[in-house]
Structure 1
């Protein structure tokens, strides 16, 4: 029995690493796709395919995917802030910055979520949380200044890095707001309706971008990039994450997200030819250390609460 459990545990680890590679690949695919699709259309197509897949999965499993009318506005907020807000700024950022920089800045999401939870929901924040925030923030500063701290005086940052910071704030806000929805609905339902709201709200903007003009010139590589982000990064990556959360818990599962910038660096180096400087390596170490400190505090808190319940 012990050997079976150990094998299952190793399998869960391997699956989460695969999911992390898929998420890392989204930064690479995004670089390819923003060269061929306008930003709003790219956001629309990514979630158009993803929402079809997620609802098909729920229907096939016979899960209850209906939501109450009273919660429609909540899901509109989730769709606009989390899906539209994050991905529009994410794709805009990729036009001006590297896949490596964007993935490193995205890694600060747990830190920004902690700050927003403290500001809006008065969740406790301890000294270790503050230290983790400062460590990760230093990593971000090194990225956006490329190690030249004199730029802080002139405020001449890469616009792409700043756009990516806005994107992460949108996603962190989504994570905080989604807690209310997750009290009533399953994660797949929350995510699927967020996808759906995103797709519906993007329609007028897609029409403004005149898809009949650019679609005939879109390459197979462009469509493959979109499908990759839809199926592998969104649907498969998310499904693996849900299985992991069910088996080992949300806190421990979140630790794997720290591998995203590492894999993104490797993929960007080999596929996009992006350089990996000492500054970026130091930045990655600072951000991941800060996130691990912050996540470690939460894991110990959850484990302590579980011990008290048992």
Structure 2
């Protein structure tokens, strides 16, 4: 059954908006809490809130979950255990401009993997839209300066971010391949639970070596935001978007993250919004519109 394209676009846009706030929190608390611990607190919160609602669906679909356990495990490890943990680690070892640049590789990975595994066609219009959206992303990431791009220095964190982008692409493809016998709530509940479990001992081990930290009201508020909104709500929206419009189209909306992050930084941190941000937004919007237009069957 064909998906509802406008609804899929809305879900993807809302998910990306929420995740933009997650990046602001990750940058703001980078020195207040170790990265694996932050990821563990995020997913323990999301899982604890969601499991009571998903328990019945998981029990009902248990046989289907067991039949697809390996694919579910890969989705859990890529989308929950590793992706955001690597983003938090990358934030400690590289500059924001580099993170934004390497984040732009995620939709490229998704489009390529969707072509290989889901047979989604890469039309000339989609390819052109992808290039235009990347140009908008680069304009914002480099503040419109070619010199910034040419004189960038690359660190270990850049490779970490590149790996994170690839893992998110793998997760997005697996969501589209979700077995019909597994309900959406059961799928999310299983991936949340399976993905969270490895983070708990990893966080305990990290705290044996990391500097001591305190659960202040600000840190608690940040954990609640990334645990409930950036994890539970945004993942539900993202998975719904993929089911409606496919991973290739949904992934292109990730190019809006630097735009929304810039707006958030303007409101919360007083950072200026410049003409370059406007130009970047126009390029990203134009590219996404081009790339997500309905394609004729091959």
Work out whether residues 58 and 189 of structure 2, in 8 Å CA contact, stay in contact via their aligned partners in 1: no
Q: Is 2:271 aligned against 1:274?
A: yes
Aligned to 1:33: 29
Partner of 1:123: helix, strand, or coil?
Answer: coil
1:136-195 CA distances to partner (integer Å, 9 max, x unpaired)?
333344455444435666662577666444422221121112322344422332222222
Sort the Cα spacing of 1:111 and 1:45 in 2 relative to 1 into closer, same or farther, 3 A. same
The structure 1 residue matched to 2:83, chosen from 81, 86, 92, is 86
After TM superposition, the structure 1 = structure 2 runs for residues 44-123 of structure 1, keeping only pairs within 5 Å, are: 44-59=40-55, 64-66=60-62, 67-95=64-92, 96-98=94-96, 106=103, 109-123=106-120
Aligned to 1:4: none
After TM superposition, the structure 1 = structure 2 runs for residues 179-190 of structure 1, keeping only pairs within 5 Å, are: 179-190=176-187
Cα distance, 1:107 vs. partner? 6.7
Work out whether residues 41 and 206 of structure 1, in 8 Å CA contact, stay in contact via their aligned partners in 2: yes
Superposition TM-score, scaled by structure 2 size: 0.75
Work out whether residues 106 and 165 of structure 1, in 8 Å CA contact, stay in contact via their aligned partners in 2: yes
Aligned to 1:129: 126
Q: Equivalents in 2 of 1:170, 1:36: separation in Å? A: 26
Q: Is 2:168 aligned against 1:168?
A: no
Cα distance, 1:48 vs. partner? 0.7
CA RMSD of aligned residues (A): 4.0
Q: Equivalents in 1 of 2:10, 2:138: separation in Å? A: 33
Aligned to 2:215: 218
Cα distance, 1:210 vs. partner? 1.6
Q: Equivalents in 2 of 1:138, 1:242: separation in Å? A: 27
Work out whether residues 93 and 161 of structure 1, in 8 Å CA contact, stay in contact via their aligned partners in 2: yes
Cα distance, 1:120 vs. partner? 4.7
Work out whether residues 101 and 143 of structure 1, in 8 Å CA contact, stay in contact via their aligned partners in 2: no
Sort the Cα spacing of 1:272 and 1:65 in 2 relative to 1 into closer, same or farther, 3 A. farther
Cα distance, 1:241 vs. partner? 6.2
Sort the Cα spacing of 1:134 and 1:89 in 2 relative to 1 into closer, same or farther, 3 A. same
User: Could you list the runs of 5+ residues in structure 2 that have no partner in the other structure?
Assistant: 1-5
Partner of 1:230: helix, strand, or coil?
Answer: helix
